Structure 1
Amino acid sequence: MSGLRRVLSRFRRVPRSRWLRRALLVAALGAVLAGAATGASVVWVRSGAAGHLFTVEDVPEAPVALVLGAQVDPGGQPSAFLAARLEIARQLLAAGKVHAVLVSGDHMDWGYDEPGAMRRWLVERGVPERKVVLDHAGFDTYDSCARARRIFGVRQATVVTQSFHLARAVTLCRTLGVEANGVGDETAKRFPLLWRRGVVREYGAGVKAGWDVLSGRDPVHLGRRETGVDDALRD
């Protein structure tokens, strides 16, 4: 006990200013490292997507549109952001720019089904059901891209999402083996608060994407090879 009291007494004698300086130094170092990681991820994302971002009119033809999931509102209706993505996919299919649509989203809980809601939206607007393939385990952008390649055998695709998210999505897909171009939605800018929140979120999401690639992690769920895309294209 006497030894412990001596150690504690030494800590008490250390000036508070010294502890404050150390805390500030650690905080500053953390900020520098976070800034460096963010900067590096921005460069990686932008360079990876350079030359691969298009509009509906000028995007090159690809076998599949990969539509990334987003929030589904109560009642099973796609949110405005997700509906905008689906409308782009519908236009691509109608124009012959793609020949099947892979909708990839979160279906972790039985009562919340992004892919199912996405398919319903498309079918209700005239897209043949046989042309829509569901990926129920697209829990994030990395998982959607990895599963498109490893589970559904997609080698070439047009990725569809909001424009602030598009460069990261295209870069991830290309890094994971999908020859991807992208078409981004701008119509959701009519929701400025949500749009700005998405833009800001991309900085942190880019760092996570870089870590996912460097770590080489598997998607949350892999499972067996699925032939849905092959069947849709053959049909």
Structure 2
Amino acid sequence: MAWVAVASAGHVYDPEDAPEAPVVIVLGAKVKDGKPMSFLAGRLDVGAQMVREGKARAVLVSGDANGTSGDEVAAMTDYLVAKGIDRTLIVGDGYGLDTYDTCARAATTFGVRKALIVSQGNHVARAVALCRDAGIDADGVKGDCDCRFITVARNTAREWLASPKAVADMLSSRDPKVVSDPDDSLERALVG
């Protein structure tokens, strides 16, 4: 947790104070019946806000397209479109199987060099730390969550367990679980 705090210091913002970046990365989470659950919806709402306010020009939605709860990327894309974000500005990465993989793939597969990354609580700090380690000039934006107490408690506990794994991933410099050839779809979305 200390490493995450140091690595992300000065790079986590409330939505209204977020700086600009070409792309906003929204991290996946559980979906139910093809719809984002409250935790994910809170992230997506902030991602959409970043585009509407001109703080980002495109969105990279990253999650598990074959997750146990369903296709996170499809649900995220549909949600953003329903919120008024042009589908041509949304790029999906169905192999963002964890936060490390999302950051590594954003840099190596999609060529991201500067980005905002949206998540809640301590997770956004860990995401910033991992993306910065992957070579992305990343700033985190705190996502909202109209969540039940148990959801917040469970995700806070999860962060305590995930931080040591993040440090191990960073130190090992492992490849993401799925390595893909470079993909220029995000670059095309940015020039639109």
TM category, shorter: over 0.9
Percent identity over the alignment is: 44
Structure number with higher helix proportion: 1
Normalising by structure 2, report the TM-score. 0.96
In 2, distance between residues paired with 1:51 and 1:100? 23
Structure 1, residues 71-112: CA drift from partner, whole Å, max 9, x if none?
A: 011x20111110110000111100000000000000136982
What residue in structure 2 maps to residue 84 of structure 1? Answer: 42
Structure 1, residues 198-218: CA drift from partner, whole Å, max 9, x if none?
A: 111111100000001111110
Match of 2:79 among 121, 128, 141: 121
Match of 1:203 among 149, 160, 175: 160
Segments of 5+ residues of structure 2 without an aligned counterpart are none
What residue in structure 2 maps to residue 68 of structure 1? Answer: 27
In 1, distance between residues paired with 2:175 and 2:29? 21
Q: CA deviation at 1:125?
A: 1.6
Corresponding position: 1:215 with 2:176: no
Conserved 8 A contact 1:145-1:173: yes
In 1, distance between residues paired with 2:157 and 2:121? 13
In 1, distance between residues paired with 2:99 and 2:68? 21
Q: CA deviation at 1:186?
A: 3.7
Corresponding position: 1:57 with 2:16: yes
Conserved 8 A contact 1:105-1:136: yes
SS in 1 for 2:20: coil
Conserved 8 A contact 1:69-1:103: yes
Structure 1, residues 43-90: CA drift from partner, whole Å, max 9, x if none?
A: 1100001000111111110000000000011x2011111011000011
SS in 2 for 1:187: coil
Aligned pairs for 1:141-180 within 5 A: 141-180=99-138
SS in 2 for 1:57: helix
What residue in structure 2 maps to residue 48 of structure 1? Answer: 7
What residue in structure 1 maps to residue 188 of structure 2? Answer: 231
Conserved 8 A contact 1:163-1:183: no
Conserved 8 A contact 1:63-1:156: yes
Normalising by structure 1, report the TM-score. 0.79
Structure with more contact order per residue of length (Cα contacts < 8 Å, sep ≥ 6): 2
Q: CA RMSD in A?
A: 1.3
Segments of 5+ residues of structure 1 without an aligned counterpart are 1-41
